[in-house]
Amino acid sequence: MDRSFSASLHQVFLRLYLEELLRLKKVLSRILPAVEEGAHEGASSPFTGAPSRSVGDPVGVPGQGAGENNDIETVLNAFGILEGFQMTRSLLAKSRIGLCVGALRRHPDGRIKAKSTALVAKWKSAIEGRQAPKMTTGRYPGPISGDSTRDKARTFLWRALVDGLETAAAAAAAGSATAGETGRVAAAIEEALWSRFIVDRQSTKEYNAQLKTLKWNLADPKNPDLNLKVLWGMYTADQLANMTSAELASEEKKRERDKQKQESLEACQSDWEVRRMMSSGEAAQGQFPCFRCRTNKTVYFQMQTRSSDEPMTTFVTCLECGNRWKF
């Protein structure tokens, strides 16, 4: 119960942290147009590319009014808040605030330029200097079963579990997931695999197959969310013993598979339409000319691939050269 509550609290904290970053990013975006305006204002320095100014020019956006002055002050306050953030690679990737702050280094206001330059340097130094804890160095830290094969499997899972986390960012997000805890999680997963496939089914083949499935998905650096869900107890050992590779895949991989499935359905539908139209003689003169071979021997069909309130997608096939396209 305590562990579940702690995990939930940690998730809430991370979500609020990210929401605050997104709010501050919106504040900074107010003065981004001035970056483009400032880039064309006056002559450029051959060394820095920054607009040149005479000594008497005021510091700030040229021609700015009271409203723009207020925006500048609001942004400077936002920079003060951001300076207190402990930035990670994961937070930068999710919020994309680094792009916004980086762009403000070209802002014509000297204070904005200085603050953004210092902040980018600070974040870069913090991320490059923070090395991921190498939890896989040394020996497996979890419970031992006494069976060499099972202990090897536990080590196998443990290494995948910790190696699959994003370097510093995901390791930090794992919170209290110490080496000992990851070892206990790996042991619990192996225990569930042993119970399901060896004790209940007497199937070493299925045991090894599911072990490899878990290993490849846990070790995937593009799927760190899976490891965090396992460490936070969102997936139990029994659930992991029954999950398929498709269920364990990252959201990106799931979207990719859905796209491939849709494309396969579209290809099957296209082939069926081509055969039907050729047999019926409808393809003598197509409605859409082929942009590759310039003939009009084309056939087409339409399918609803988006939401119902959007137009249907048209799929065209050239019977002369086999070219296919859609729009």
Q: Where exactly are the structural domains of the chain?
A: 2-129, 148-249, 252-326
Question: For the structural domain made of 252-326, what CATH number should be given?
Answer: 2.20.25.10
Measured distance CA(186)–CA(136) in Å, rounded: 13
Residue scoring higher pLDDT (47 or 257): 257
CATH architecture of the domain with range 2-129: Up-down Bundle (1.20)
**What is the predicted pLDDT for the residue at 4?**
52
Q: Is the pLDDT of residue 152 over 90?
A: yes
* Rounded mean pLDDT, 258-268: 67
Q: Within 13 A of 116's CA, how many CA atoms are on the CB side?
A: 25
Q: What angle do CA 164, 205, 218 make, to 5 degrees?
A: 5
Residue in this structure with the two tokens 């320095």, named with its chain if needed = 45
Between 48-57, 199-208, 282-291, 315-324, the lowest mean confidence (pLDDT) is in 48-57
**What is the predicted pLDDT for the residue at 106?**
87
List the one residue out of 175, 230, 177 whose CA is nearest residue 9: 175
Q: Is the pLDDT of residue 133 over 60?
A: no
Q: Which two tokens stand for residue 307?
A: 């939401």
Q: Do domains 2-129 and 252-326 have the same CATH topology?
A: no
71-123 pLDDT, tens per residue? 888 888 888 888 877 777 777 887 888 888 888 888 888 898 888 888 888 88
Measured distance CA(194)–CA(226) in Å, rounded: 21
Q: Is the pLDDT of residue 44 over 50?
A: no
Q: Within 13 A of 236's CA, how many CA atoms are on the CB side?
A: 4
Buried b (16+ CB within 10 A) or exposed e, 172-188: bbbbebebebbbebbbb
3-class SS string, 65-126: CHHHHHHHHHHHHHHHHHCCCCCCHHHHHHHCHHHHHHHHHHCCCHHHHHHHHHHHHHHHHH
Cα dist from 243 to 130, 157, 159, 223, 250, whole Å: 34, 15, 20, 15, 13
Q: With bands split at pLDDT 50, 70 and 90, how would you rate the model's confidence at 206?
A: very high
* Rounded mean pLDDT, 187-194: 94
* Rounded mean pLDDT, 168-187: 62
Q: With bands split at pLDDT 50, 70 and 90, how would you rate the model's confidence at 45?
A: very low
